[in-house]
């Protein structure tokens, strides 16, 4: 499935100018059809899988309890 620059910008939550810059830098593969760029959606699947793994990792880190400090003495 092919998407326009605007659709990719919405999908990635970035500006259209940023998407075009990434196309010019060959970081996003695209086809020019005479009117505009068409971008294959499948190339972003790896990105979304990695982002999902990263979100889970961050969530685990945030939910991990803080260990007690051995150097603190409970003195009254």
36 lies in some domain: yes
> CA–CA separation, 13 vs 5, rounded Å?
12
Higher pLDDT, 76 or 46: 46
* Polymer length of the chain: 76
On average, the pLDDT of the chain sits at 89
Q: Per the domain annotation, does 69 fall within a domain?
A: no
Is residue 21 situated within a structural domain? yes
In a domain, 72, yes or no: no
**Angstrom distance (rounded) from CA 50 to CA 65:** 25
Q: Per-residue pLDDT tens for 19-46?
A: 999 999 999 999 999 999 999 998 888 8
Which domain, by its residues, includes 57? 2-63
pLDDT at position 73 is 67
**Stretch 4-13: mean pLDDT, rounded?**
93
pLDDT (0 to 100) of residue 33: 92
Domain containing residue 55: CATH number:
3.90.105
Q: Is 76 within the bounds of a domain? A: no
Residue 68 belongs to a domain? no
Mean pLDDT within 1-20: 93
Residue 74 lies in a domain: no
Number of structural domains found in the chain: 1
Distance CA 16, CA 57 (A): 30
């Amino acid at each position: 499935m092919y998407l326009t620059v605007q659709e990719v910008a919405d999908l990635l939550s970035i500006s259209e100018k940023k998407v075009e810059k990434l196309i010019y830098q060959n970081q996003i593969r695209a086809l020019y059809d005479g009117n505009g760029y068409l971008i294959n959606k499948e190339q972003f699947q790896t990105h979304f899988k990695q982002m999902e793994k990263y979100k889970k990792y961050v969530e685990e880190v945030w939910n991990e309890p803080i260990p007690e400090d051995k150097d603190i003495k409970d003195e009254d």
